Amino acid sequence: MSVDAITTALKLNIDRSSAKFVLVAMAYCANNELTCWPSVQYLCEATSQDRKTVLENIKRLKELGLVVDCGDRKGMTRQVVVYQLCLDRESQNRNSSEIGTVPETEGNSPVFTLKQAQKRDTERLELSRTISNTHPVCKEEKTPMVSIDTFLKNKKASGEKPVPDGDAIFDYAEKVGIPTDMLFLCWREFVERNRESGKRYKDWRQAFRNCVRANWYKLWFSTVDGFQLTTQGKQAELLHGVAA
């Protein structure tokens, strides 16, 4: 986490407040080189914005020259975009017609009295604590590997769906043409098989995305008329009582 990046992002006067919120969330995830790779799902959760709004705001920040796609990818599937935050003075001046910063005054000039410097450091520490408490998901901590039943129990207790409506897997399925009922059938098979095997994952949602993308259980195949169930798929349909 870069407190300086967060502080600078908060000082920027961006015409769209939701875009500024996304920038602050990205700054919270930035390292000392001001690079970050928060997933779209994290940004949605951190800012309480839907996926479409987050993507629009990232596009807006790119247009303003505040974030740049480094061309690198992270994550298990190497699909999480790595961004460079451009929060230096030159970048701000380059877009001064649309972005403003807090004017240089005695209170925020580069030259501080000892008392002003102590006050600034205290404010930064409080800011860091506040954001850490609000968005603990971005902390660099070990996520425990849990069973599918523990995952389902935890999500039920928090009032979350195991696979939320805005999950990226639905966008993928829509793009390639996999029907929603086949996704539901795949989820039932996914849960059943992992119960039997006792498999543990840190991120069950990502595991399910991988399952669908790679068609782990060979439940469907593609034809010119769309996706159809395989023999395995029909067997799963009978087992779970789900009509796909």
Structure-model confidence comparison of residues 237 and 74, the more confident one: 237
Domain count, the chain: 2
pLDDT above 90 covers a percentage of the chain that reads 52
Are residues 88 and 169 located together in one domain of the fold?
Answer: no
Q: Given pLDDT bands bounded at 50, 70 and 90, which one contains residue 125?
A: low
State residue 219 phi and psi, 5-degree precision. -85, -20
Are residues 34 and 130 located together in one domain of the fold?
Answer: yes
Are residues 154 and 124 located together in one domain of the fold?
Answer: no
pTM above 0.75, yes or no: no
Q: Given pLDDT bands bounded at 50, 70 and 90, which one contains residue 110?
A: very low
* Residue 178 in tokens: 């996999």
Identify the pLDDT of residue 9: 87
Are residues 131 and 206 located together in one domain of the fold?
Answer: no
Identify the pLDDT of residue 52: 93
Are residues 93 and 160 located together in one domain of the fold?
Answer: no
pLDDT above 70 covers a percentage of the chain that reads 75
**Burial track 150-174 (b if 16+ CB lie within 10 A, e otherwise):** ebeeebeeeeeebbeebbebbeebe
Beta strands in the chain (DSSP E): 13-14, 35-36, 67-74, 80-85, 99-100, 146-147, 200-201, 220-223, 226-229
Quick one: average pLDDT of 136-140?
48
Q: Given pLDDT bands bounded at 50, 70 and 90, which one contains residue 3?
A: confident
**Which string of DSSP letters, residue by residue, matches 50-114?**
-HHHHHHHHHHHHHTTSEEEEEEEETTTT-EEEEEE--SHHHHHHTTTTEE-PPP-TTTSS---H
Mean pLDDT, the chain, integer: 82
Q: For 173-206, write each residue's pLDDT tens digit.
A: 999 999 999 999 999 999 999 999 999 999 999 9
Of 102, 120, 138, the position where a domain reaches its end is 138
Are residues 15 and 87 located together in one domain of the fold?
Answer: yes
Structure-model confidence comparison of residues 63 and 108, the more confident one: 63
Q: Which CATH number does the domain housing residue 21 bear?
A: 1.10.10.10
Q: For 41-86, write each residue's pLDDT tens digit.
A: 999 999 999 999 999 999 999 998 899 888 888 877 778 889 998 8
* Residue 169 in tokens: 């897997």
Domain that residue 206 falls in: 146-240
Of 138, 166, 183, the position where a domain reaches its end is 138
Of 138, 167, 195, the position where a domain reaches its end is 138
Q: Given pLDDT bands bounded at 50, 70 and 90, which one contains residue 4?
A: confident
Identify the pLDDT of residue 129: 60
